[in-house]
Amino acid sequence: MDFFDCISLAKAQALIEGTLADIVVSIEEVELLQALGRIAAEDIAADGDLPPFNRSTVDGYAVLSRDTFGAGEGIPAMLTIVGEILMGQAAETDILSGQAVAIPTGGMLPAGADAVVMLEHIEPSGNETLLVLKPVAPGENVVSKGEDIKTGAVFITAGTKLTSAEIGALAACGTSRVKMRRRLTVGIVSTGDEVVDIGATPAAGQVRDINSYALAAILTEAGCQVSCYGIVKDNYAELLQIIDKAVAENHLVLVSGGSSVGVRDHTVRVIEELGQQKVIFHGLAIRPGKPTILGMVGEVPVFGLPGHPVAAMTVCQTVVLAAVKKMQGGKPLRVGCQVSAKLTRSCASAPGRDDFLRVRLIWHEGEYLAEPVLGKSGLISVLTQADGIVQIPAEASGLYAGDVVSVEVMREA
Amino acid sequence: MDFFDCISLAKAQALIEGTLADIVVSIEEVELLQALGRIAAEDIAADGDLPPFNRSTVDGYAVLSRDTFGAGEGIPAMLTIVGEILMGQAAETDILSGQAVAIPTGGMLPAGADAVVMLEHIEPSGNETLLVLKPVAPGENVVSKGEDIKTGAVFITAGTKLTSAEIGALAACGTSRVKMRRRLTVGIVSTGDEVVDIGATPAAGQVRDINSYALAAILTEAGCQVSCYGIVKDNYAELLQIIDKAVAENHLVLVSGGSSVGVRDHTVRVIEELGQQKVIFHGLAIRPGKPTILGMVGEVPVFGLPGHPVAAMTVCQTVVLAAVKKMQGGKPLRVGCQVSAKLTRSCASAPGRDDFLRVRLIWHEGEYLAEPVLGKSGLISVLTQADGIVQIPAEASGLYAGDVVSVEVMREA
């Protein structure tokens, strides 16, 4: 397979978008803390005002702001203290002009009051009298009922991935159960006569099943529920049976190995048989990762990934995760974890394909340097030495030392 | 409490480092995939060479490189095909000068061979003869035994947080069980007469218990196991009993609310009673988050956090997580998820304290803009609108519009 037979990454991404346009996991209602890291299935609106009452943001005295106009160190406003607000309790009486009520941070303003004078700006004058040394404006040191979030306001939109910020906002609005997208279930199949389980000692010529673990880890990081279907020898009937089972039990299936064009390539035939000819693409103009397949078996995408672990992981992180996000119902992220960095050495790249280059990030004199982790094609040690990936786009013939590149960070806090 | 009575963030961080220097969670052995996102407890070395044999990186013919020297389109080297290597099997015979063996990508090189000629550079010439059109150098298209990772080489160091990259490398080395730091257990206590459970309808003056959920979410994101101990009214005896229980059952305890200096401040007294005067600091020169406490009860740090949710979350994300990472045994990250962005408006800050400003990130003409999410002190809606946090250091009196700032991104892929 030449790169001439491959489709571009952009074309593949458009095909994924189109093919999966209407395929989204279903909805379930979960306890609030179970929603962390998952995708909101619908817009969520507040069913009450936040705060539910006018609330003081400081320790001080609730007053009518106009009683303090013109007050200063030399000409304090004199007010009568008529009571005290306790935390968690409603104000018992309204206040009138000339009156003040002691109030703690978070306390509920009594009716009549429209501002709070901070303790720093008063002077006591006898038991029941207060001197205000600085005027307050209407609303000063107060958050009004509904000022934070109004009843009916959508404060989380469908497709948002919930972080601790959204969990806090949902708790504030009293939402103890939320409708979320189900976790995407993913089945992983490894193929290859040479592949043995990682617990086994490989005989001469054999290799361990790295892909089942590495792909499971990537998809777990992305919030999926992963099932591994073990290692299938290069046997068409057996592969057909396992993929059929994995498709029946999951939203998405990955088959690693067996995707290069060769005598033992069965994945395409399986997709054609199970999916009635629904191969979406076969061969991607990217490196590493050229022998990538996407087919559909009913509503289940089946990706054939390269057998080589670094290639399989790169395709999983760049192409499969795009499908995962689409199916999880998430909206496109406005912010990713990309850092700008200066490339430390020039890297050639064949025009017409997207190259994914693993780099190590080095903080140097106030900027990041991106040092390509070199080594022969696809060494495993490249993985643990790299901090992120730089994409060299198809239209570029390479990058020069000193070029500022965007690095997708793979290891974070 | 004035900012004058508070210690600086830098000083607090140094105190946390010092106090927790020898307090790290213990070690347990777990299955490989369970180690994802956790901290390696010790250096991990390869107990065999990777690859375990000389391996071809292409489809082609294994040869003695010196047999191809000088070969070209016009003067091809002629070799005799003496066999075929099958995937997963050892080479049956050595090869001698003048011989070649067909080999697939990933196949094991036969003894004698030191390079592989790609299919693209040969021309068949009868059943058993091969014309090589281009010379190969020694080692070309081959990864030698141990070239990727050598026996005994440390490929993961103690303190590394395991991502999919490390899981892949461990699988490659056949490490199916690994020694990891235990998950940090954290107990969360909410206090305050005004606080009610999020399932309840707050009466006038009451607020929902946002902190138990928001703090649990932050610590879950950080890989901790969280237990919530519910809401304690401002009652010393009850608080003492609950904190005592939480300390007995966890590595770390958070108490939110009740940490401002006031009539109902019991957290410090509890720490003093349980921990025998071990208050490490009380009052931080940061905003929000001034009324923060750290005490030690035996080897268990107890943080008193502000009652206000945005302040409690900010302190948790900036101060508590530093203690969490220390206790988890993780080494400092070389790369965080920070992006550079241009501030859209000037922000004042009092010198002498660190301010934490929540910002929204906007991608605009090839760069990020950081737009401060304004609003009165600590609105909940600020949380869901913000993408990250900018730290305005204590020595600055503010930041100007157009300043390039580093934004710690809080919502990522």
Each residue's pLDDT tens digit, A278-337 = 889 999 999 999 889 999 999 999 999 998 899 999 999 989 999 999 999 988 776 677
Instruction: Residue B231: list chain A partners with CB under 8 A.
Output: none
Of B306, B328, B350, the domain-final residue: B328
Are both A171 and A35 inside the same structural domain?
A: yes
Instruction: Establish if A296 belongs to a structural domain.
Output: yes
Instruction: Residue A85: list chain B partners with CB under 8 A.
Output: 205
Q: Do B199 and A208 touch (CB under 8 A)?
A: no
Of B265, B298, B328, the domain-final residue: B328
Give the separation between CA B385 and CA B389, rounded to whole angstroms.
12
ipTM, 2 decimals? 0.91
| pLDDT at position A1 over 50 | no
pLDDT for the residue B412: 64
Chain A closest-CA separation from residue B249 CA (Å): 21
Instruction: Residue A143: list chain B partners with CB under 8 A.
Output: 376-377, 379
Are both A209 and A118 inside the same structural domain?
A: no
Instruction: Residue B334: list chain A partners with CB under 8 A.
Output: 361-363, 387
Are both B290 and B249 inside the same structural domain?
A: yes
Are both B268 and B364 inside the same structural domain?
A: no
Which residues are bridge partners to B126 per DSSP?
Answer: none
Are both A197 and A295 inside the same structural domain?
A: yes
Instruction: Residue A148: list chain B partners with CB under 8 A.
Output: 375, 379-381
A:B CB pairs within 8 Å: 304
Percentage of residues in chain B having pLDDT higher than 90: 71
Instruction: Establish if A132 belongs to a structural domain.
Output: yes
Q: Do A380 and B172 touch (CB under 8 A)?
A: yes
Q: Do A33 and B216 touch (CB under 8 A)?
A: yes
Q: Which CATH number is B265's domain given?
A: 3.40.980.10
Closest CA to A380 of B314, B150, B109: B150
**Spatial CB neighbours of B226, under 8 Å, sequence gap ≥ 6:** B185, B186, B187, B188, B215, B216, B219, B220
Are both A305 and A264 inside the same structural domain?
A: yes
Are both A225 and A290 inside the same structural domain?
A: yes
Instruction: Establish if B193 belongs to a structural domain.
Output: yes
C-beta of residue B186 within 8 angstroms of C-beta of residue B226: yes
Q: Cα B74 from chain centroid?
A: 56
Q: Do B413 and A143 touch (CB under 8 A)?
A: no
In 3-state terms, what secondary structure has residue A273? helix
pLDDT tens-digit readout, A21-68? 999 999 999 999 999 999 999 999 999 999 999 999 999 999 999 999
- Structurally, chain B folds into a number of domains equal to 4
| Least confident stretch, A223-232, A270-279, A346-355 | A270-279
Closest CA to A366 of B404, B326, B37, B56: B404
C-beta of residue A185 within 8 angstroms of C-beta of residue A224: yes
Instruction: Establish if B323 belongs to a structural domain.
Output: yes
Q: Do A205 and B409 touch (CB under 8 A)?
A: no
pLDDT for the residue B413: 44
User: Which of B32, B90, B212 lies nearest to residue A213, judging by beta carbons?
Assistant: B32
Q: By CA distance, what is A309's nearest residue in B?
A: B168
Q: Which of B342, B384, B404, B409 to mutate to test the interface with A (most CBs of A within 10 A)?
A: B384
Q: Do B87 and A192 touch (CB under 8 A)?
A: yes
Q: Which CATH number is A31's domain given?
A: 3.90.105.10
Instruction: Establish if B333 belongs to a structural domain.
Output: no
The owner of tokens 């999966």 is A20
Of B91, B124, B143, the domain-final residue: B143
Are both A127 and A189 inside the same structural domain?
A: no
C-beta of residue A214 within 8 angstroms of C-beta of residue A320: no
The owner of tokens 């190969």 is B136
| pLDDT at position A71 over 60 | yes
Chain B closest-CA separation from residue A89 CA (Å): 5
pTM of the predicted structure, to 2 decimals: 0.91
Are both B301 and B378 inside the same structural domain?
A: no
Q: Do B411 and A33 touch (CB under 8 A)?
A: no
pLDDT for the residue A374: 79
Instruction: Residue B264: list chain A partners with CB under 8 A.
Output: 87
Q: Do A388 and B168 touch (CB under 8 A)?
A: no
Q: Do A163 and B379 touch (CB under 8 A)?
A: no
Instruction: Residue B34: list chain A partners with CB under 8 A.
Output: none
Instruction: Establish if A106 belongs to a structural domain.
Output: yes
CB atoms within 10 A of CB B174: 21
Are both B45 and B163 inside the same structural domain?
A: yes
Q: Do B334 and A387 touch (CB under 8 A)?
A: yes
Q: Which CATH number is A382's domain given?
A: 2.40.340.10
pLDDT for the residue A377: 66
Q: Which of B194, B335, B360 to mutate to test the interface with A (most CBs of A within 10 A)?
A: B335
Chain B closest-CA separation from residue A80 CA (Å): 23
Chain A closest-CA separation from residue B379 CA (Å): 6
User: Which of B37, B387, B410 lies nearest to residue A334, judging by beta carbons?
Assistant: B387
A129 or B265: which leads in pLDDT: A129
Angle (nearest 5°) at CA B128 between B126 and B131: 70
Q: Do A165 and B105 touch (CB under 8 A)?
A: no
Q: By CA distance, what is B316's nearest residue in A?
A: A164
User: Which of A108, A213, A410 lies nearest to residue B167, judging by beta carbons?
Assistant: A213
Under the banding of pLDDT at 50, 70 and 90, the label for residue A112 is very high
pLDDT for the residue A31: 97
pLDDT tens-digit readout, B281-318? 999 999 999 889 999 999 999 999 998 899 999 999 98
User: Which of A53, A205, A264 lies nearest to residue B205, judging by beta carbons?
Assistant: A53
User: Which of B148, B172, B335 lies nearest to residue A409, judging by beta carbons?
Assistant: B335
In 3-state terms, what secondary structure has residue A126? coil
Where is A51: in which H helix or E strand?
Answer: none
Where is A311: in which H helix or E strand?
Answer: helix A309-315
Q: Which CATH number is B94's domain given?
A: 2.170.190.11
pLDDT for the residue A324: 95
Instruction: Residue A234: list chain B partners with CB under 8 A.
Output: 87
User: Which of A87, A339, A411 lies nearest to residue B194, judging by beta carbons?
Assistant: A87
User: Which of A143, A192, A199 lies nearest to residue B176, judging by beta carbons?
Assistant: A199
Q: Do A165 and B384 touch (CB under 8 A)?
A: yes
Q: Do B149 and A210 touch (CB under 8 A)?
A: no
| Regions of chain B with pLDDT less than 50 | 1, 3-4, 263-264, 413
Are both A95 and A62 inside the same structural domain?
A: yes
Q: Do A87 and B410 touch (CB under 8 A)?
A: no
Q: By CA distance, what is B214's nearest residue in A?
A: A168
Are both B39 and B66 inside the same structural domain?
A: no
User: Which of A51, A108, A204 lies nearest to residue B53, judging by beta carbons?
Assistant: A204
User: Which of B155, B214, B234 lies nearest to residue A167, judging by beta carbons?
Assistant: B214
Show the domain range for A212: 3-25+183-328
User: Which of A57, A171, A218 lies nearest to residue B208, judging by beta carbons?
Assistant: A171
Q: Which of B151, B196, B207 to mutate to test the interface with A (most CBs of A within 10 A)?
A: B207
User: Which of B192, B361, B375 lies nearest to residue A335, judging by beta carbons?
Assistant: B361
Instruction: Residue B33: list chain A partners with CB under 8 A.
Output: 213, 216-217, 220
